[in-house]
Structure 1
């Protein structure tokens, strides 16, 4: 009897150690109300689960009388119901899109979306060109700038069935690639022509001496004033003289201006012109609305829908990272603020339509939301060269030109 009792105690200890070695094996169907088949199914799926997690699964799959545990059949029923619910949500999203698909407002939004894609592809290509990239690299940056934000939105919203948006609609990819390649090869000639018109004289074949430069400034006082302001901002000093302007443009200090040196200011001025700023603002307004709309049809929370209107322009961040420069999207000019206000406006107006029955047609909602984005951008343009938003307190001096980071 003593030997048998000792053997029995030793067997119980071994069994206890085995139960401690595999958490999911510790679930005894009779004790925890979990079906053997459900436990085996979890093991087959290769998903490690603790005892508490298995008990939660048994509770979630409990469908029979009180006290009965979850079974493999009920687990499959729960999964099937969730898959069907997601399919139904997707069907509702398609209905929402189809409701306005053939309206003039929706078609205009799609057209402006194409224009915005081309514009941001051009912007990315120009930044890549300034960074010294070849046509393939510049086209890659252009595509990342124009489609990166929409791709991120598709991923974070789980809208990847059949691929991201430019896989489902290759028109976006075609527009981005064509805009990038055309910009890469055509912009140098366009830039030279714009510079000629801006400076009111033809560029010399080789170099430009100071007397010729001074004569050009005398012939175009408005251009001279813009140059003075640009140089004053860069140097942080008083109103510069023509000679100081010449020395600022003469980057290699050889006493003569090369064509590339003359193009520095013309390029900066054309890229920062009111026309480019206005078209870019229109594209941002379009992207804000389309980003919010894509989240709305997914049935997401209004806050998430407004955020989707911000993340849709994150392609500008990818562009700046690839080209190793500070991100414009997060600068004081604030793409994020403008698109956030526009997307939030669109979401709010749709809430008034759905919840309160306000008669707000799609065209009016798009117009008001895009106008909100453009208004923020207009305020940023009006405040130039001051920032629209102030840096964090105690760090403002470091953010000023010439400050220490």
Structure 2
């Protein structure tokens, strides 16, 4: 299971870094701006999680995570300069990163002995806060705060992982895979059919 989580971690870093560059491209940023967005998107959620849990920040211990983000950022920057990249691809890349990182964060909370509630919160935080930083820096309303089904997908995936892990009836690798598929399926379904959560309304507006 540790090897699977390791590969998921690297995939999440690369995919979220790519989504950061796509966001930079839509805002006409230069190479430096694109790499900055790539790095904060891919490492932001995990950094905040580790600080809250009072453990060493993951990319300070293993700097190859940062190098993966930088390399992905540079390569993606030159790639999108010569290709027409639709905004839809950014959303799909973000959905993949979301589904992978929610598992990483939730599992880390469980491994450290925290309760199911804390583990779920850590999973959602790991999966969404990098995107929040990306959107704020690029001048957009964060996906987490929009009416789209985003945080709900992360919460559901984290809850599925915690429930299946507690049952002890399935192998760890299968539990992780199911949680990733559940999160990704919910998020992609929301994108495909424009599903959204109810919004707050005040007065007659």
Normalized against structure 1, the TM-score is what?
A: 0.47
Q: Report the Cα distance in structure 2 between the residues aligned to 1:183 and 1:381, rounded to whole angstroms.
A: 23
Tell me the residue number matched to 1:147: 43
Aligned residue runs from structure 1 range 93-108, under 5 A: 100-101=1-2, 107-108=3-4
Residues 351 and 338 of structure 1, relative CA distance in 2, 3 Å threshold:
same
Q: Report the Cα distance in structure 2 between the residues aligned to 1:371 and 1:186, rounded to whole angstroms.
A: 28
Q: Does 1:390 align with 2:198?
A: yes
Tell me the residue number matched to 2:105: 291
Tell me the residue number matched to 2:124: 310
Tell me the residue number matched to 2:183: 373
Secondary structure at the aligned position of 1:190 is classed as coil
Post-superposition CA distance 1:351-400 (Å, at most 9, x none): 222xxxxx31112211221122123113312422xx421101447x85xx
Q: Report the Cα distance in structure 1 between the residues aligned to 2:43 and 2:193, rounded to whole angstroms.
A: 30
Which of 65, 68, 86 does residue 175 from structure 1 map onto? Answer: 68
Cα drift, residue 120 of structure 1: 1.1
Q: Report the Cα distance in structure 2 between the residues aligned to 1:332 and 1:321, rounded to whole angstroms.
A: 17
Cα drift, residue 190 of structure 1: 2.1
Secondary structure at the aligned position of 2:140 is classed as coil
Cα drift, residue 128 of structure 1: 2.1
Secondary structure at the aligned position of 1:155 is classed as helix
Q: Report the Cα distance in structure 2 between the residues aligned to 1:137 and 1:382, rounded to whole angstroms.
A: 30
Which of 141, 146, 151 does residue 326 from structure 1 map onto? Answer: 141
Post-superposition CA distance 1:121-144 (Å, at most 9, x none): 111122223323321122111100
Q: Does 1:124 align with 2:20?
A: yes
Tell me the residue number matched to 2:33: 137
Q: Does 1:362 align with 2:172?
A: yes
In structure 1, runs of 5+ residues without a counterpart are 1-99, 102-106, 192-266, 354-358, 399-405
Q: Report the Cα distance in structure 2 between the residues aligned to 1:152 and 1:175, rounded to whole angstroms.
A: 19
Post-superposition CA distance 1:247-285 (Å, at most 9, x none): xxxxxxxxxxxxxxxxxxxx4xx2315xx6555433322
Secondary structure at the aligned position of 1:272 is classed as helix
Tell me the residue number matched to 2:82: 189
Q: Report the Cα distance in structure 1 between the residues aligned to 2:197 and 2:40, rounded to whole angstroms.
A: 27
Post-superposition CA distance 1:93-125 (Å, at most 9, x none): xxxxxxx43xxxxx2332232122111111112
Cα drift, residue 304 of structure 1: 0.5
Secondary structure at the aligned position of 1:145 is classed as helix
Q: Contact 2:18 / 2:93 at 8 angstroms: preserved in 1? A: no
Q: Report the Cα distance in structure 1 between the residues aligned to 2:92 and 2:139, rounded to whole angstroms.
A: 26
Q: Cα RMSD between the aligned structures?
A: 2.0
Tell me the residue number matched to 1:113: 9
Cα drift, residue 345 of structure 1: 0.9
Q: Report the Cα distance in structure 1 between the residues aligned to 2:145 and 2:20, rounded to whole angstroms.
A: 16
Aligned length: 204
Q: Does 1:272 align with 2:82?
A: no
